[in-house]
Chains A and B, each alone.
Chain A
């Protein structure tokens, strides 16, 4: 169980202090939690604070009751937090097989690595020996990124906008990946997403806007409110969805 208590995060831009997050209180105990909300609302910052990439300026983070606020990225990873980047990182010389082995913490057999690649919809033999570099497309990198998190199978897996940078066709398959993961993964999944189809399969949706939690509830409770908002992005689209 992950608990965020009074989490705040501010940055100083040289002239004034800008508050990105304030007084976030959240308990994640469900299997599948989706965080959504408008761009610039603080979702990715929150995900990075959970993974230890950013340190909160106030508040505490508890993982299964243990205070992990001051722990490094490595220590949190070792305690069972995984993080899938919104923009996957490229490496010259490190192959897909190498990266998956690093995620597994052991030299993975080719057949094991292949089974994970198949689960994220990649034809394993085409990818296993390729470098994780600019020769891979955004969608391919995203799938490999997701595979690194699946392999770890930790108690908490955080995905920062897995749909970003993926075309519509690939996105259809990605939904299936998450549906399968929901069934298989032992721990909790925390996913930042704008996609209704991902939000629909969540146990609980947390809405983050203007740096704080503005709503929490089941998809049945939250989605009608979001789609029914008068100031929605495009009424033609939301009318269709209704």
Chain B
């Protein structure tokens, strides 16, 4: 693995070297490293590009890392990763995609991740997207996430895109059975002429299931963001969606929350707030000795922390 690839790996998965536990590293469209454990198996798909990750029922406190890095300009790929998480398991999955493009051609990673989470299992899924490189070629990522939570299952999804991705369309579809819970936290920052679209659909089908979808974003320069969040309450359930965006320079942000209650006992809330940094926030930090620019950085960093 060269220096550029190592930098990407560190940015998307906080990895300085090969991780502990199960992992699958995909570099420039090919398998670069894999490890399995007694409880976690990773198998290459035979019908299409991608892998199946099978986690045995009752697996506790184990992690899986599946970073993808692209440093070859012009490489485009579509990858399917399916996770089968056994009943009562409790695991952390770290995914992420880093693209370094120093050429003139578009580099693109489209990943379809499907999670089938068994009864009473708990999953923490962390996903980071990052791009760098000084070429004119675009860095594009279109993650599509499918989540199926069985009875009593819970999943926390943290998705972060802070830098360097020119265009992204992020689609997430989730269905929840009785007593299942889903928390999605999205952090997004766009700059330059970037475009980012987020599209969440959550079907609360089970009794007493719940979902909380929270997005915090910062749009700088001339970048554009579009946030759609749909929650359908089809049973006695609780759903909350929140979009909070800081707008800077000539950027634009569009937030479209949509909540539908198809059951009398469905309790659904949406909140959306878009605005520039409050002048008094800048003033307060400046009275502590920070310059206006430093104050702005602190406010943005805190907001996306």
Please give the residue numbers on chain A whose beta carbons come within 8 Å of chain B beta carbons, in ascending order: 51, 53, 72-74, 77-78, 81-83, 85, 88-89, 91-95, 98, 102-103, 105, 148, 152
CB 8 Å contact bits of B269-286 with A (1 = contact, 0 = none): 000000000101101111
Contact partner of A103 (CB less than 8 A), chosen from B278, B281, B288, is: B288
| Residues on the B chain within 8 Å of A103, using CB | 288
Known: A74-B292, A94-B302, A98-B302. A53 touches B281 (CB 8 A): no
Cβ-defined contact, A94 with B298, below 8 A = yes
Cβ-defined contact, A77 with B281, below 8 A = no
Cβ-defined contact, A53 with B283, below 8 A = yes
Cβ-defined contact, A72 with B299, below 8 A = no
Contact partner of A74 (CB less than 8 A), chosen from B244, B290, B303, is: B290
Contact partner of A77 (CB less than 8 A), chosen from B287, B303, B304, is: B287
Cβ-defined contact, A78 with B299, below 8 A = no
Residue of B nearest to A100 (CB): B288
Cβ-defined contact, A102 with B288, below 8 A = yes
Residue of A nearest to B300 (CB): A93
Residue of B nearest to A152 (CB): B288
Complex Cα distance A204/B216, Å?
A: 48
Q: Secondary structure of the A side of the interface?
A: mixed
| Residues on the A chain within 8 Å of B216, using CB | 92-93
Query: Is B291's CB within 8 Å of the partner chain A?
Result: yes
Closest-CB distance, B215 to chain A (whole angstroms): 13
Closest-CB distance, B165 to chain A (whole angstroms): 22
| Residues on the B chain within 8 Å of A92, using CB | 216, 244, 302-303
Cβ-defined contact, A77 with B288, below 8 A = yes
Please give the residue numbers on chain B whose beta carbons come within 8 Å of chain A beta carbons, in ascending order: 216, 244, 278, 280-281, 283-292, 298-299, 301-305
| Residues on the A chain within 8 Å of B292, using CB | 74
Cβ-defined contact, A89 with B284, below 8 A = yes
Report the 5 A-B pairs with minimum CB-CB distance, sorted nearest first: A94-B302, A93-B302, A77-B289, A73-B286, A89-B284
Complex Cα distance A102/B294, Å?
A: 10
| Residues on the B chain within 8 Å of A91, using CB | 281, 299, 302
Cβ-defined contact, A93 with B285, below 8 A = no
| Residues on the A chain within 8 Å of B291, using CB | 74
| Residues on the A chain within 8 Å of B303, using CB | 92-93
Residue of A nearest to B278 (CB): A89
The residue among B281, B287, B304 with the most chain A CB atoms within 10 A of its own CB is: B287
Contact partner of A73 (CB less than 8 A), chosen from B244, B287, B299, B302, is: B287
| Residues on the B chain within 8 Å of A94, using CB | 298-299, 302
Question: Could you pull out 25 A-B pairs where Cβ atoms are within 8 angstroms?
Answer: A51-B287, A53-B283, A73-B287, A74-B291, A74-B292, A77-B289, A78-B289, A82-B287, A88-B284, A89-B278, A89-B280, A89-B283, A91-B281, A91-B299, A92-B244, A92-B302, A92-B303, A93-B216, A93-B304, A94-B299, A94-B302, A95-B302, A102-B298, A103-B288, A148-B288
| Residues on the A chain within 8 Å of B287, using CB | 51, 53, 73, 77, 81-83
Apart from A94-B299, A98-B302, 19 more pairs, CB < 8 Å = A74-B291, A74-B292, A77-B286, A83-B287, A89-B278, A89-B280, A91-B281, A91-B299, A92-B244, A92-B302, A92-B303, A93-B216, A93-B304, A94-B298, A102-B285, A102-B298, A103-B288, A105-B289, A152-B288
| Residues on the B chain within 8 Å of A105, using CB | 288-289
| Residues on the B chain within 8 Å of A95, using CB | 302
Residue of B nearest to A51 (CB): B287
Residue of A nearest to B305 (CB): A93
Complex Cα distance A194/B152, Å?
A: 57
| Residues on the B chain within 8 Å of A98, using CB | 298, 302
Complex Cα distance A102/B298, Å?
A: 9
Closest-CB distance, B274 to chain A (whole angstroms): 13
Cβ-defined contact, A72 with B244, below 8 A = no
Complex Cα distance A74/B285, Å?
A: 9
Closest-CB distance, A86 to chain B (whole angstroms): 11
The residue among B278, B283, B292 with the most chain A CB atoms within 10 A of its own CB is: B283
| Residues on the A chain within 8 Å of B280, using CB | 85, 89
| Residues on the B chain within 8 Å of A82, using CB | 287-288
Cβ-defined contact, B281 with A89, below 8 A = yes
Residue of B nearest to A90 (CB): B281
Cβ-defined contact, A73 with B298, below 8 A = no
Complex Cα distance A103/B301, Å?
A: 16
| Residues on the B chain within 8 Å of A88, using CB | 284
Closest-CB distance, A150 to chain B (whole angstroms): 12
